[in-house]
Amino acid sequence: MNRLIPFIVLIPLLVFALIVGLFMGGAAIPASEVIDALVRYGSAGIGHTLIWEVRIPRVVSSALVGASLAGCGVVFQAVLRNPLAEPYTLGVSAGGALGATTAIVLGLTGLPMVAWCFAGCLLSIGLVIAISTVREFSTTTIILSGVVLSFLFSAVMMFILSMASSRDVHASILWLMGSLGSTRAVSAPVLALVVLPLALVLMCFSRDLNLISLGDEKTHLLGFNPGTLKTVLLVLASLLTGICVAVSGIIGFVGLIIPHAVRKACGADHQVLLPASMLAGSSFLLLSDTLAQIIIRPFELPVGVITGIIGGVFFLAYLLKARPPEVF
């Protein structure tokens, strides 16, 4: 029964966030017109077009990207046994961004661009693991390798951009800032077709995540294969990150704050933590994105700015507050 409480809270929250996202946005559309467009599909009018061609795809993408980023955070944290791991702090997003920039400069769009993003993400998670194996899997090593890789990838990215045409530079920068607005490499239905099955697969690994978070030895002793498991989980999470980066650029810290908050509220059992984090991540990104659209209307902030500010402050507070053994 206790285990249902998070969902009793989070599912209505997501519904609320979806409704807010539908009714509020860059263009002020009266509520009556939104309802009219929703119930009478196919009617004429600018409001109708905006709702069905801009807001609904955007709301769906935000929800899916938020869920994916939070889910990836949970998986990276469990596998690396470290509460500060997430796609952004590990440099996985930066790897994806490098891949995406390369793709833009090469003139690629759609699935080839996603493939480049994915390759970039895999490259960086591979490097983080390699560095941590040579050194040790401590927080310091992991976070430092994340920082170093982010720097390294940005440098390579800037090199590529310095050679590129100003049109490509403009496209890349806009995309890098992290936004769910413009049409991206992947449309909302395709994103749903990738994210939902991956999320289901990850949820089937909830028990494995519990064991892996207690270490290789415990995993082995309870009859699971830690090596295979870690590889499978990291590849799945990197794939999910790659898709997100391709869709929305770099949106930092969602994978850090959401799992942390959910863990505080509902405990560490991944059978609850993983789905609850995904629901919370969806709601969080939906609300952040709505805020990004209305805060300086008629202009729009990149949503990465909002999550970056909230997440950065949170990250700092965590580092200052956590007792040494927790940080270690």
Q: CA 169, 147, 302: angle at the middle one, nearest 5?
A: 45
Q: How far is the CB of 267 from another protein (least distance, A)?
A: 6
Give every CB contact of residue 151 below 8 A, 6+ residues apart in sequence: none
User: Considering beta carbons, is residue 70 or 186 the nearer one to another protein?
Assistant: 70
Q: How far is the CB of 322 from another protein (least distance, A)?
A: 12
User: Considering beta carbons, is residue 23 or 224 the nearer one to another protein?
Assistant: 224
Number of residues in the chain: 328
CA 302 and chain centroid, separation: 15
Q: How far apart are the first and last CA of the chain?
A: 34
Q: How far is the CB of 312 from another protein (least distance, A)?
A: 23
The site for another protein (CB under 8 A) is made up of 77-78, 81-83, 204-205, 207-208, 210-211, 213-215, 217-218, 220-225, 263, 267-269
User: Considering beta carbons, is residue 184 or 263 the nearer one to another protein?
Assistant: 263
Q: How far is the CB of 231 from another protein (least distance, A)?
A: 16
Q: CA 166, 172, 177: angle at the middle one, nearest 5?
A: 130
* Letter string b/e over residues 87-111, b meaning 16 or more CB atoms within 10 A of that residue's CB: bbbbbbbbbbbbbbbbbbbeebeee
Nearest to 80, CA basis, from 129, 127, 144, 130: 129
User: Considering beta carbons, is residue 27 or 203 the nearer one to another protein?
Assistant: 203
Q: How far is the CB of 138 from another protein (least distance, A)?
A: 11
User: Considering beta carbons, is residue 10 or 209 the nearer one to another protein?
Assistant: 209
